[in-house]
Amino acid sequence: MEFIIIFTIILLSALFCLVLKNRRLIEAISVAAFLAVFVLTVLVAIKVSLFGVYTPNKYFSLDSLGAILVLLISLVGLMAVIYSVKYLRVETAKQIIGFTRVKQFFIFLNLFSLAMFFAVSSSSPIFAWISVEATTLSTAFLISFYNKPSAMEAAWKYLIINSVGLLLAFFGTLLYFTSIKISGGFGFVTWNDLLANIQNMDPAIAKIAFVFILIGYGTKVGLAPMHTWLPDAHSKAPVPISALLSGVLLNVAFFMILKFKVFNDLVVGPAFSQKLLIAFGLLSIFVAVFIIIGQKNYKRLLAYSSIENMGILALGFGFGGLAIFAAILHMIYHSLIKSALFLSAGNIFLKYSSTKIHNIRGAFTALPLTSIIFVAGFLAITGAPPFGILFTKIIILSAGLKSFLFVSIVALFLTAVLFIGFFKQVTNIMFGQKPIEMPVEKEKFWLIAPPLTLILIALVLSFYIPPFVYNLITSAAANY
């Protein structure tokens, strides 16, 4: 019942945004819709924590990891939509966008969120694939939101590369369907149907299928070398969309890989998927770290940081054991912190009208509150104490020391290099003399509150995890 209410609320919100002509009403409805959805997802997550997999009907099913993701989608979505109201008003005041563009933004933001909810909660691999593809279609417009040539190029690149990747994932999904024996038609195949018939799966086909799944959905995750769309898309999209892309969508795509990893491990054993995840994870960290060192655009800097963190996740799930628990916790921290970083980066963009690092000087003087949030986010995302990512990275890399010593040592070295490169870029932005003609004004509350809230939640979770969330994490770690 809760799923139907959540989907209905988001659809009605998108519909109201389409037909209404009052901007304040559109903004109010969008914020109210996401607030209601957040409350409902908390209730659903608590139910999953208490009673296990929640399956209200044959079309929807939510396990512990799915419950964590719907919490993240609703929380980051709520903060993004609250931030969007003021952000778009400033953009409108500068005559960068008009009312029509604002309507379109909120419509596609609602549809984007709806597609992610469907992907995580669908009980069918095919419906989940359709939903992930729907996120591509809904966000392609948002990436090209400003109609600049570079934004249009990024949108097309995003659309083409991800569509090809998801086509490979679809082929991999169909290969897993060869284990299903259905009479009288194809029927409605669920994740449970695949699990029940997994003994019929040919191990050779399972290996081929998982390679297609990993490359296909790995393209959406941004794992190297399929990552080439990600920096362009995340840097050209409006800041609230960048926060959702990096903070939430990458996790949704990773979730799809993990769902198939469970099947593959039952057929061919865990070693095959482990080696693949570790290889792609280490390559992703390597590529991201050495591009971050010379990066000249701070939104692209954050995008490459997302690639690095997806690589850390891949290592965690590849190493197995306690590393899986740490990887799920890392996923939560990354979603909150990276979203906060993108939203605070949006404040810098509004002030300086540039995403080039060499154009940004003296941010601490011009935007003191935003700068504090941004620096806190930098420290958190790179694993500085007291934030929890320090402990998740330590646990993940420690778990790999026994069986994958070389990989763990290289990953540890790369994360140290990343801190140095990231620190250099952040200090260039924060310090120095701000432009003389730039006034120091009071920062707008609704542009500060969302990223600050996300950072504070990440900090609290570093010391205290609510019991129902802890239950979800432990259950997910046991199942994946």
Measured CA distances, 171 to 215, 277, 299 (Å):
11, 19, 33
Model pLDDT for residues 35-75, shown as the tens digit of each residue: 999 999 999 999 999 988 888 888 899 999 999 999 999 99
Tell me how far apart the alpha carbons of residues 135 and 194 are, in angstroms, rounded to a whole number: 24
Task: Judge contact between 395 and 322, C-beta under 8 A.
Answer: yes
Q: Give the count of beta carbons closer than 10 Å to the beta carbon of residue 193.
A: 18
- pLDDT band, very low/low/confident/very high, at 345 (cuts 50, 70, 90): very high
The predicted structure's pLDDT at residue 149: 87
**What is the chain's mean pLDDT, rounded?**
91
- pLDDT band, very low/low/confident/very high, at 355 (cuts 50, 70, 90): confident
The 3-state secondary structure of the chain, one letter per residue = CHHHHHHHHHHHHHHHHHHCCCHHHHHHHHHHHHHHHHHHHHHHHHHHHHHCCEEEECCEEECHHHHHHHHHHHHHHHHHHHHHHHHHHHHHHCCCCCHHHHHHHHHHHHHHHHHHHHHHHECCHHHHHHHHHHHHHHHHHHHCCCCCHHHHHHHHHHHHHHHHHHHHHHHHHHHHHHHCCCCCCCCCCCHHHHHHCHHHCCHHHHHHHHHHHHHHHHHHHCCCCCCCCHHHHHHHCCHHHHHHHHHHHHHHHHHHHHHHHHHHHHHHCHHHHHHHHHHHHHHHHHHHHHHHHCCCEHHHHHHHHHHHHHHHHHHHHHHCCHHHHHHHHHHHHHHHHHHHHHHHHHHHHHHHCCCEHHHCCCHHHHCHHHHHHHHHHHHHHCCCCCCCHHHHHHHHHHHCCCCCHHHHHHHHHHHHHHHHHHHHHHHHHHCCCCCCCCCCCCCCHHHHHHHHHHHHHHHHHHHCCCHHHHHHHHHHHHHC
pLDDT at position 217 over 60: yes
Of 10-14, 46-50, 228-232, 306-310, which range is least confident?
A: 228-232
pLDDT at position 303 over 70: yes
pLDDT at position 76 over 70: yes
Q: Per the structure block, which two tokens stand in for 143?
A: 């990436």
Q: Look-up: residue for tokens 């994360």?
A: 415
Q: Per the structure block, which two tokens stand in for 463?
A: 């010391």
Of 11-15, 192-196, 254-258, 313-317, which range is least confident?
A: 192-196
Is residue 349 included in any domain, yes or no?
yes
* Residue 474 burial by Cβ neighbours in a 10 Å radius (0-12, 13-18, 19+): middle
Mean pLDDT score, 132-160: 89
Of 160-169, 186-195, 319-328, which range is least confident?
A: 186-195
Is residue 45 included in any domain, yes or no?
no
* pLDDT top residue among 448 and 95: 448
- pLDDT band, very low/low/confident/very high, at 185 (cuts 50, 70, 90): very low
pLDDT at position 181 over 80: no
Q: What percent of the chain has pLDDT over 70?
A: 99
Q: Determine the Cα angle at 388 with ends 237 and 84, to 5°.
A: 25
**Domain ranges, residue 237:** 124-479
pLDDT at position 183 over 80: no
Is residue 37 included in any domain, yes or no?
no
**What type of residue is 221?**
V
Mean pLDDT score, 394-415: 92
The predicted structure's pLDDT at residue 276: 96
Measured CA distances, 479 to 263, 329, 425 (Å):
11, 15, 39
Question: How many structural domains compose the chain?
Answer: 1
The predicted structure's pLDDT at residue 182: 57
Q: What percent of the chain has pLDDT over 90?
A: 69
Q: Which residues pair with residue 54 across a beta bridge?
A: 62
pLDDT at position 184 over 60: no
Is residue 106 included in any domain, yes or no?
no
The predicted structure's pLDDT at residue 58: 83
Is residue 219 included in any domain, yes or no?
yes
Residue 223 Rama label (left phi>0; alpha psi -120 to 50; beta) = beta
Of residues 66, 275, 281, 260, the one with CA closest to residue 172: 260
**What type of residue is 232?**
D
Dihedrals phi, psi of 61, to nearest 5 degrees: -155, 135
Tell me how far apart the alpha carbons of residues 380 and 336 are, in angstroms, rounded to a whole number: 10
Q: Per the structure block, which two tokens stand in for 356?
A: 């080039």
Cis peptide before 225 (omega within 30 of 0): yes
* pLDDT top residue among 79 and 140: 79
The predicted structure's pLDDT at residue 186: 54
The predicted structure's pLDDT at residue 83: 96
pLDDT at position 456 over 60: yes
Mean pLDDT score, 225-243: 89
Q: Which residues pair with residue 60 across a beta bridge?
A: 57, 122
Is residue 178 included in any domain, yes or no?
yes
Is residue 72 included in any domain, yes or no?
no
Mean pLDDT score, 198-204: 88
Calculate helix-pair angle for 467-479, 64-93, nearest 10 degrees. Answer: 120
Whole-prediction pTM: 0.95
Is residue 351 included in any domain, yes or no?
yes
**What type of residue is 383?**
G
pLDDT at position 278 over 70: yes
The predicted structure's pLDDT at residue 249: 94
Task: Judge contact between 267 and 198, C-beta under 8 A.
Answer: yes
